[in-house]
Amino acid sequence: MGLSLSTAAAPELDLEALDIACRDRGLDGVELAAVSASDLDALDARTSMASGARIVALRAEGLSPETAPRLARASGRLGVPLSVPSEALAPSDLSDLAAVFHREGGRLLLAQGCGLEAMAALVAEIQVARVGKPWSQGGDGPLGVAWELRPSSESLEDGSAVLFIARELLGLVRLHGGGPEQHDQDGLGVGGLLADLALSRYQGTIVLTPSRPETLPRWAKWLASRRSAGCGTIAESNRVDLDVRPVEPRDRLETILGTYRSLSRGATMELTVDHDPSCMYYTLEATEAEGSFTFRKVEDGPEVWRAEVTKL
């Protein structure tokens, strides 16, 4: 399972700059989004010069008789799938489209959200389109499913069942959110679905894409700033307020331990976090001398947790 970013998250960045930002973030690669037919020439140019960039998927919002063969060729040449919203395609065209993608060695993924009935219908349409075709054998044919997860605007309640239906045809997961939008999606069920996805042994890519255009400035900032500063404030000499919510997760442990270790004996750190801080209790238990601190939760979620840590 690899995590990648859609070019839709950074329309201003060219492919090379986006690729560098992805590498800095530990993301595996980029999904190239071609929004319209006129983008196709630009797409051709980008894919042919994209020697250094790792392209993991292509995206189009629709297919026409003119664009389908070109996108199929790009998909085959790059060895990555193309996803298209299923509602943009007529079921009666699937068989012909599959033949085009089969000929070009590409793969077409029909994108569908968390609606159970819609996914069941889509899987049935794909199975019908496969009947009697030379490529109908094997799960790696020219037609598959891309799963669109929109936790901010769509209920994920049926997600586990949708995954169960789609799992054999599933070639891509597109998460509308994640990245700088993680906090907005707290409690909306992404965690549970990711666990289901892992347990279903999904091997493909998860592409992050902005949930809506208004969030684009936050994505730009997220991609530009690899690290964020700590934000402890010393209110009184024996009391430190440390709110790590704006701190990047990877910098949090160092920030918290650093602050704790700088406390004088008898001083208290009030820690504010956006998740249950029990792991910090266990970490202090393991790393600090026995009996050298007290740890008391003073607020226990569901949005914010606070703990008072006193050095003895």
Partner 1 sequence: MAKTELDIRVVPPREKHPTIFRTFDSLAPGEAFTLVNDHDPAPLRHQFEATRTGVYSWSYEESGPSVWKVRIGKNA
Among 39, 44, 274, 288, binds partner 1 (CB under 8 A): 274
Other CB atoms within a 10 A radius of the CB of residue 193 amount to 21
Does the protein bind partner 1 through residue 299 (CB under 8 A)?
Answer: no
Structure tokens at 3: 């995590």
Does the protein bind partner 1 through residue 153 (CB under 8 A)?
Answer: no
Among 49, 275, 298, 299, binds partner 1 (CB under 8 A): 275
Does the protein bind partner 1 through residue 258 (CB under 8 A)?
Answer: no
Does the protein bind partner 1 through residue 225 (CB under 8 A)?
Answer: no
Does the protein bind partner 1 through residue 276 (CB under 8 A)?
Answer: yes
Does the protein bind partner 1 through residue 309 (CB under 8 A)?
Answer: no
What is d(CA 312, CA 127) in angstroms, rounded to the nearest whole number?
Answer: 67
Cβ 257 to partner 1 shortest distance, Å: 10
Among 216, 228, 283, 297, binds partner 1 (CB under 8 A): 283
- Count of residues in contact with partner 1, rule CB under 8 A: 51
Cβ 108 to partner 1 shortest distance, Å: 23
β-partners of residue 307 are: 271, 297
Toward partner 1, which CB reaches closer, 52 or 192?
A: 192
Toward partner 1, which CB reaches closer, 104 or 181?
A: 181
Among 140, 285, 299, 300, binds partner 1 (CB under 8 A): 285
Q: Point out which span in 55-63, 125-133, 228-236, 275-283 binds partner 1 (CB under 8 A).
A: 275-283
Cβ 243 to partner 1 shortest distance, Å: 13
Does the protein bind partner 1 through residue 154 (CB under 8 A)?
Answer: no
Does the protein bind partner 1 through residue 114 (CB under 8 A)?
Answer: no
Structure tokens at 40: 């196709």
Does the protein bind partner 1 through residue 24 (CB under 8 A)?
Answer: yes
Cβ-based neighbours of 257, under 8 Å, separated by 6 or more: 283, 287
Of 180-219, binders to partner 1 (CB under 8 A) are 182-183, 185-188, 190-192, 194-195, 198-199, 201-203, 206, 208
Cβ 211 to partner 1 shortest distance, Å: 12
Structure tokens at 114: 């968390």
Of 160-179, binders to partner 1 (CB under 8 A) are 175, 177-179
Toward partner 1, which CB reaches closer, 32 or 207?
A: 207
Cβ-based neighbours of 278, under 8 Å, separated by 6 or more: none
Sites of contact with partner 1 (CB under 8 A)? 1-3, 23-26, 175, 177-179, 182-183, 185-188, 190-192, 194-195, 198-199, 201-203, 206, 208, 248-253, 273-276, 278-280, 282-283, 285-287, 301-303, 305
